[in-house]
């Protein structure tokens, strides 16, 4: 799975939300920093080349849909992030969030309960 640029990832989130969309539909979902229609069309074609989206043709227009689901992308993204930023250690990942006060003791207990239930 090829790495996505920030803008490609933003477009994928829109396509995951909409399920099927024409370029104009994707463009309408941008709140800020709206790309030009032609730029967005190029981004979507790049996503097609990378194997993330496909389309149905209706004359000269295309309706795009994701062919990589968000769960599959999330797993790959998280695996890469943990390898690159946390030395392939989930302990380092959780410690990072604890030190940054992004996770509470209650949330950690919930995680421990989930782990123990799977045993």
pLDDT in tens, 6-53: 999 999 999 999 999 999 999 999 988 899 999 999 999 999 999 999
Write down the pTM of the prediction. Answer: 0.81
79-94 per-position pLDDT tens digit = 999 999 999 998 899 8
User: Of the candidates 50, 7, 60, 57, which has an alpha carbon nearest to the alpha carbon of residue 32?
Assistant: 7
Average pLDDT over residues 88-103: 89
Question: Using CA atoms, how far apart are residues 87 and 15, in angstroms rounded to an integer?
Answer: 32
Q: State residue 98's pLDDT score.
A: 87
CA angle 3, 6, 7 (to 5 degrees): 110
8 Å CB contact between 90 and 103 = no
User: Of the candidates 53, 61, 63, 54, which has an alpha carbon nearest to the alpha carbon of residue 9?
Assistant: 53
Q: State residue 3's pLDDT score.
A: 87
102 — pLDDT class (breaks 50, 70, 90): confident
100 — pLDDT class (breaks 50, 70, 90): confident
Residue whose tokens read 């695996």: 79
Segment holding 57, helix H or strand E: strand 53-58
Kindly tell me if the per-residue pLDDT of 119 is higher than 80. Answer: no
Question: Using CA atoms, how far apart are residues 17 and 114, in angstroms rounded to an integer?
Answer: 28
């Amino acid at each position: 799975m090829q790495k996505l640029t920030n803008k490609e990832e933003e477009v994928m989130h829109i396509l995951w939300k909409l399920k099927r969309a024409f370029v104009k539909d994707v463009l309408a979902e941008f709140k800020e920093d709206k790309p030009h229609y032609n730029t967005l069309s190029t981004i979507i074609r790049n996503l097609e080349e990378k194997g993330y989206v496909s389309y149905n043709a209706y004359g000269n227009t295309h309706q795009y849909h994701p062919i990589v689901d968000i769960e599959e992308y999330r797993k790959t993204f998280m695996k890469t992030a943990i390898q690159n930023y946390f030395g392939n250690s989930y302990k380092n990942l959780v410690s990072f969030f604890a030190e940054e006060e992004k996770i509470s003791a209650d949330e950690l207990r919930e995680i421990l309960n989930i782990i123990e239930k799977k045993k």
